[in-house]
Structure 1
Amino acid sequence: MSRKPQKTSFFLPYQQDWLKDTSRLKIAEKSRRVGWTYVQAYEDVRDAAKDGGMDVYFSSADISAAREYIRYVEMWSRVLHIAAESLGEIVFDSEDDIKALCVEYSNGHRIYALSSNPKGFRSKGGKVVLDEFAFHEQPDEMWKAASPAILWGYPIRVFSSHNGKDSRFYRMVEEAREGKGGWSLHTCTIQRAIDDGLVEKVKKLDRPATEEEKAQFLQECQDIAGDPETFEQEFMCNPLDGKTSWITYSMIQLCEDKTLPLPIVIKGEDIHHIPLDEYTPYLNIPPGTYFLGQDVGRKKDLTVYWLFEKIGNTYFTRYIIELHTVKYRYQFKWLSFLLPHVFRACLDAGGIGSQLAEDAQEDFGTFKVEAVTFNNTIKEDMAITTLRSFQDLSIRLPSSEVVRRDITKIKKTTTTSGNARFEGERDKDGHADRFWAMALGLRAAKGSQIYYQSSRRKSSRR
């Protein structure tokens, strides 16, 4: 086993590995915020300023990253005592009115930091650096424009955190992993960076970081990511599958309210010891405009009741009640307790839910209770309605990890005939039962709006 490079005051081992690799084509999948732009700027200053140097064309996904890069270029020029002149923002291409930040060296060569506009690379020759390539708006066009710039033997550097498996960057990394295209591949997860001394560097420690300090730093990265999928992708180099969640963690978190009650969980065996009337005193349902969704399960899946209250144009989650392996007779008791409080309800009437829905319609009326038999068209309609509720922030739900995971199970796929399908995986926490109960509750609310509009039209005719 080869010995790791020694840590220096400037670079950590993974950064040294990158610098010592003299391959013409280098690509790196990396964690966020591990100092890759910092070390790349050093390499670029060295290449541009040396005898017989070269022009360097740096492009990132946004202008703020370009400015950060130029600051590093200026810093390294001073550290290395290299004469350089910062030209600020110049017109890089007058024909297309493209501007770039620029530093010029005494040998006449320059380092340019551009936006992600592919036109900036047309008819240029020199070293190409593509930062956060997975997040460029037009990666394919950028690659077509930038790759010819190195045909005269110049090097190219491509590095980024991942942005799904549908990106060009992911395909390039996979080619490099398979030994194709002449790429030299580097991988740096946040764990590798921590092992190599990132915590000591960030916290400016003059001693090795303790295991507790390392764990705390890793937890901070997980908190920044916000959800496990994002952490795996942006910090651990594990890109998300192309079939991403229909509703993402970030969308859910924008609609969470920590004051709302967490789900009430009822296990099948509990119902024999704790009758319904011992639960109901804790369910405070004051007068209001309520809507109910129910997704039905018995043994493998859950029965979930999702109760919304409409206030203004926002739907607040008042209760999520989960019944795990509860007998149908007790499920109907819960339904009979909730339905008198609601204006309208949509109940899952497919398969094992048909009798519950039929009995509820008979007892409470067909307007109050809509029996919904799932098919692809209805599921697509509910999925779109639910997505829009998250997009316009008109829904509020509790801050619950199990609810988040359940909602993000839903993926959109397309059949060979071109039809959309919305399905969720089954695991120990259910089969996206909470999502469909929520979607049915929103369907009940939207259906009531149609009823109101229809009633107003009839009244005006009269």
Structure 2
Amino acid sequence: MGTDLFIPYQRGWIADRARVKLWEKSRRIGASYSEAAASVLEAAKSPDAGGQSSFYLSYNKEMTQQFVKDSALWAKKFNAVAGEMEEFILRDEDKDITVYRIRFASGFDILGLPSEPRSLRSKQGRVIIDEAGFVDDLPELMKAAMALLMWGGSVRVMSTHNGEDNPFNELIQDVRAGRKKYSLHRTTLDDALSDGLYKTICRTTGQIWTREKEEAWRAGLIADYGDGADEELFCIPSKSSGAYLTRPLIESCMEPGVPVLRWTPPAKDFVDWPLEQAEKATREWLDEHVGPLLAALPQERKHYFGQDFGRTGDLSIVWPATEEVNLDLTTPFVLELFNCPHRTQEQILFYVVDRLPQFSGGALDARGNGSALAESARQKYGPSYIAEVMISEGWYREIMPKLKARFEDRTMTAPKDEGILSDLRSLRVVRGVARVPETRSKDAQGTKRHGDAAVGLAMLLYAIETMDNEEPWECVTESYSATGGGINFAGF
């Protein structure tokens, strides 16, 4: 099969051999067309080579006819021995079913069926659910489709979005949250254009491609879709606004007695104190307030942390957690640092991490001024244990469903604290993605907050998702120097 027949994102979809895969996509990018080609390649194989029949389901008759016609065209291009498209009525005790079929010499078929669970009765092979966001009962259809996996079948689900509360979007969020171990593809209009969609259109229609023509074509599409452009072209489900986490959901995971330790400078001129004096004062505070909590942590369990960086405008948050035997997360405390100098942030962070038993990974906000602390942590503990995160829309898109799932499944604890609650409640869904908004709020003490604890928690979860260390980092000897750059630990 020549690779020039397909655009890169189409090739990626065809090459993905996952048993269940989903495609969150823009309209009119050739997703169904490429899946028709994949179906032909599978149906043309002999049984010994692993060939299979394919069963295509969508929400209207015209789409089903078109898919089977596209399959017939691909069969001719691939020189696959196949008959013409047939239409026949399958008698059923509930309701007769109109079926479209192409038969292959291999003995396998491509069939277009109504998008009803009963259509898959007694079937075996590949199931394709197209425009899944628009079928009548996607959960029941998925349930019927999954039965075909038992004997080596596969399930392919493709769709543009049809609202935030639609079962298709809920399925996508379950995948991102880690509840469903399916393969996920995402192709917006801009992704498709970057891969050469409009160039392919120009070649097919005999036009000469130019950058100016492509930009005009894109602008025209957006204008045509109007208010629906985000959903139809850019994979952003509609009606996406409001708080991401409800107060009752957050409070269901909050534990009284989990401390939030707040550090503020002991003097207005603290930043100008001599290094030895500043480190000594900070060490005394740490030994009094943080050390006992760290000493009480279970020595046999893995520990992680997440950190959101702030200097004067925002708080710095350090959120550690114990991973329990059942993989739930227990929060021993959360640190909030306000107006904390860079050198002191490093001292505090290293004090905490060096005392986390079975330390297995951490993630730090590496944007702007946070890059220095993230880099120092990476140099101290190694790149296998430290993730330097450049927060982006894509990062929010991938990690926030996992954060929400932790609260929904009650698999973590958080401090019962007004500031923590405020930060978590501040998360908003913007253009289909949960994130910290641009606006800031103030807590009861008058401290400005910008969702800092929510980001610190998301960093913690990101560390757990991305760090995979069989041998946790352990510090076995300690020496402290008040003038040699802070707290130094040797040996691990």
Normalising by structure 2, report the TM-score.
Answer: 0.46
Normalising by structure 1, report the TM-score.
Answer: 0.49
